[in-house]
Amino acid sequence: MSSLAETLARLAEKRVRGEIATAAVAGAPEREAYEPLGVESFLPGGVLEGPRGRCYLHERLRSDIEAPQPAWGRYPAPAWRVPALHTDLADRVERGLDGAVFLDLETCGLSNAPVFLAGTMHWNGSDYVVRQYFARDYSEEPALVDELTRFLAGFETVITYNGKSYDVPFLGDRAALHHVPFARPARHLDLVHHARRRWSGVLPNCRLVTVEWHVRHSRRVGDVPGSEVPDLYHDFVKYGAPHRLIPVFHHNLLDVITMDEILRALVEGGEDDIEAMSAGELE
Partner 1 sequence: MIDGPEIPLFGLRPLAANPQRSATDPAAGELVAAGPTLGGGRRLPGQGPDFEAWIDEVRRSRDYGGEFVHVHRQPARPARHAAPAAPLPPPLVAALRAQGIERLYTHQAQAIDHVRAGRSVVLVTGTASGKTLAYNLPAVEALLADPDAHALYLFPTKALAQDQLKSLGRLLDAAGAGAAADPRARVKAGVYDGDTSTSARRKLRQEGTVILTNPDMLHQGILPYHPKWARFFRGLKLVVIDEIHTYRGIFGSNVALVMRRLRRIARHYGAAPVFVCCSATIRNPAELAEALVGGPVTPITDDGSPRGPKTVALWNPRFLDREKMERRSANADAGRLFTDLLRRGASVIAFTKARVTAEILYRYAHETLLSKAPGLAAKIAPYRSGYLPEERRAIERRLFNGELAGVISTNALELGIDVGSLDAALVVGFPPTIASTWQQMGRAGRTHDAALAICIAYNEPIDQYLMRHPEYFFEQSPEAAVVDPHNPYLLAGQLASAAYELPITAEDAAVFGPQSAELLDALAHDGQVRALDGRWFWASTDYPAGRINLRTISDNTFTIVDGTRENLVLGTVDAISAPELVYPEAIYLHEGRSYFVQKLDLEQKQAVCEPREVDYYTQPVLDTNILVHGLPERQAAPPSPERGEASSLSRRSAPLGCGRSGEGGAAWRTRKALDGEVHFGTATVSWATIGMKKVRFYSLDSIGYKALDLPRLTLDTASLWWAPPVAARAAVKAAGFAPGEALSGLRNLVVTLMPLFAMCDPSDIGAVLDSKNLGTQALYVFDRYPGGLGFAEQGFHRFEELLAACDALVRDCPCDDGCPSCTGLPILRPAQQQDPDLSNGWPMPSKRATRVLLDAVRGVGVTT
Task: For 90-104, give one letter per residue: b (16+ CB within 10 A) or e.
Answer: bbbbeebbeebbbbb
Distance CA 236, CA 230 (A): 10
Contact 58, 45 (CB under 8 A): yes
Q: Choose which of 74, 164, 207, 234 interacts with partner 1 (CB under 8 A).
A: 234
Contact 179, 149 (CB under 8 A): no
Would you say how long the chain is, in residues? Answer: 283
Residue with Cβ nearer partner 1 (178 or 250): 178
Using rule CB under 8 A, residue 30 touches partner 1: yes
Residue with Cβ nearer partner 1 (128 or 134): 134
Using rule CB under 8 A, residue 2 touches partner 1: yes
Q: Choose which of 71, 153, 176, 202 interacts with partner 1 (CB under 8 A).
A: 176
Q: What's the min distance (Å) between Cβ of 38 and partner 1?
A: 14
Contact 123, 154 (CB under 8 A): no
Using rule CB under 8 A, residue 33 touches partner 1: no
Using rule CB under 8 A, residue 10 touches partner 1: yes
Burial of 171 by CB count in 10 Å (0-12 exposed, 13-18 middle, 19+ buried)? Answer: buried
Using rule CB under 8 A, residue 221 touches partner 1: no
Q: Is 181 helix (H, G, I), strand (E, B) or coil?
A: coil
Using rule CB under 8 A, residue 35 touches partner 1: no
Q: What's the min distance (Å) between Cβ of 116 and partner 1?
A: 12
Contacts with partner 1 in 132-161 (CB under 8 A)? 137-139
Q: Choose which of 109, 181, 201, 270 interacts with partner 1 (CB under 8 A).
A: 109
Amino acid occupying residue 253: L
Using rule CB under 8 A, residue 12 touches partner 1: yes
Q: Choose which of 65, 153, 177, 202 interacts with partner 1 (CB under 8 A).
A: 177
Ramachandran assignment for 96, one of left (phi > 0), alpha (psi -120 to 50 degrees), beta (any other): left
Q: Which residues bind partner 1 (CB under 8 A)?
A: 1-31, 108-109, 111-113, 137-139, 172-174, 176-177, 230-231, 234, 237-238
